[in-house]
Structure 1
Amino acid sequence: MRMRELDLRGSDPAAAPPRSTVTAVLEDAEHVLVRGPVPALAAALAALWKAGRLPAVSLGWDPADDPASRGLARDLGIGAADGERELGLVRDDHGGVLLQHGRLAATADPAPSRFRRPARFGAQAHHDDARVADGEVSRLEVRPDRSTPDTLSVAVVTVPLRPARRSTGRVLQVACDPARVWRDGVLLDRPVSRWTWYADDRVRWRLRP
């Protein structure tokens, strides 16, 4: 078995690694050990999927020591689970992969001050067949639901301090005023007016603890 190591320890957990760095390691691998934060693992999965090699390559992950990495490692059972497992994959219509947390918001500020009301933006969103947003919202939060295969958990926040509208389903489709997108803590480099996240039930990836 051809084993390769993608060592991105010390990389910024809020930045995606260079594509060339990732693809060079994955080119002929049959097993890849990814070392680094959540975006490093997401970049490896996205590159393997685009190359059509995702089913053929197993991955191991040595997580970084930031809060997001620790949280995902706990969710995936890193260090606790035995044996190789097949896991579902959440993708978007811009070629990305979502492992832990996605967000759409009006501005590029990931954490508005508690003394300043966050900006709102107009959005219409459907989660499967249910309309979950139709009007101004503060943000939409998306997470893979690991308790149910091929499922997304969505929270729509209309006004701060009010309860979020929550739903579960496979596909979230959003049409909106120009908004900013985060994938696993990484800010997309441009605003979007349409976005889709979906749990792709045709795709599995193999995690080897």
Structure 2
Amino acid sequence: MPLLEVDLRGLAPDQAPTPDAVAGAGEGSSVLVRGPVPALAGVLAALNRASRTADVAVSWEPADDKLSRGLARDLGIGGGAEREMTLVRDDHGGVLLHTGRVEPAADGIRPRLARRFGAQAHHDDVKVADGLISRITARPEWRAVDTLRVVVSVLPMRPPRLSTGRALQIACDPARVTRDGVVLPRLVSRWTWYADDRVRWRLQP
């Protein structure tokens, strides 16, 4: 079957693709994704829903925004052989490729740096947050297998807490989640990101 193309070059870097825009991604044996990081994440999420991540080789032609350039560098786009990659998922059906954040919702009163929210978080078996914090950031570690790097910022201008592991689980006051530049439209009080050791996706760089 010929290479399928998902052309989402008109997608903004902070915009998620519609389900219809990525619905056909798993119909062939390979797919070329054109567009920003959320375009690639949307295709991988569609392949995962269809249980086709192991069957479809994925190529990516990144956009020219900062997030896309950073992820392209991390993934080694433009060189090397096809390889199997970790799939970092969340418990809402999404995929994380570059950066995820959980942070206080805007309240219209306090400046952004002064906002904090109550959270308890575990990174694997380690408690990395318990109380008021400013932000939790998670990033896949592409030079390792099934690994997330997590940064917990307790106060601005204070050293953050750093950890590595496979799964991050958060219970918190209603908070805002940003996934690869896209802000979720609703607040959450529970969130999980985890490197799924049962699933791989095929990158054709």
1:60 corresponding residue in structure 2? 59
Q: Which runs of 5+ in 2 are unaligned?
A: none
Q: Is the 8 A contact 1:34 1:40 kept in 2?
A: yes
User: How many residues in Structure 1 have an aligned counterpart in Structure 2?
Assistant: 203
Partner of 1:74: 73
The alpha-carbon deviation at position 194 of structure 1 amounts to 0.5
Post-superposition shift, 1:3? 1.4
Residue 2 of structure 1 and its aligned partner are, at CA, apart by 3.0
CA distance in structure 2 between the partners assigned to 1:104 and 1:82 by the alignment = 34
TM-score for the superposition, normalised by structure 2 = 0.95
Q: Percent identity?
A: 62
Q: Distance in 2 between matches of 1:116 and 1:197?
A: 24
Partner of 2:41: 42
Structure 1, unmatched stretches of 5+, are none
Contact 1:4 1:31 in 2 (8 A): yes
Query: 86, 93, 96: which one pairs with 2:94?
Result: 96
Partner of 2:10: 10
Offset, 1:107:
1.7
Q: Given that residues 26 and 46 in structure 2 are in contact (C-alpha distance below 8 angstroms), is that contact kept between their aligned partners in structure 1?
A: no
Q: Give 2:164's aligned residue.
A: 168
DSSP 3-state at the match of 1:17: coil
Does the aligned pair in 1 maintain the 2:25–2:47 contact within 8 Å?
A: yes
Letter in 1 for 2:87: L
Partner amino acid, structure 2, of 1:41:
L
Amino acid at match of 2:154: T
Q: What does the per-residue CA deviation read over 1:164-191, in whole Å, with 9 as the maximum and x for residues that have no partner?
A: 0000000100000000101100011100
Which amino acid is the alignment partner of residue 100 of structure 1? H
For the aligned residues, what is the CA RMSD? 1.5
Question: Helix, strand or coil: the match of 1:159?
Answer: coil
Aligned residues of 2:119 and 2:170 also touching (Cα < 8 A): yes
Read off the aligned partner of 1:34 and give its amino acid letter: V
Q: Which of these residues, 150, 159, 181, is aligned with residue 185 of structure 1?
A: 181
Distance 2:106 2:143 in 1: 31
Matched AA of 2:32: L
In structure 1, which of residues 140, 143, 160 is the aligned counterpart of residue 139 of structure 2? 143
**CA displacement at 1:63 relative to structure 2:** 0.2
TM-score with structure 1 length normalisation? 0.93
**Aligned-partner residue type, residue 200 of structure 1:** D
Per the alignment, do residues 45 and 161 of structure 1 end up closer, same or farther by CA in structure 2, a change over 3 Å counting? same
Q: Residue 118 of structure 2: SS of its match in structure 1? A: strand
Report the secondary structure of 2:67's partner residue: helix
Q: Distance in 2 between matches of 1:108 and 1:2?
A: 47
Which of 96, 103, 106 is equivalent to 2:104?
106
Q: Secondary structure of 2:38's match?
A: helix
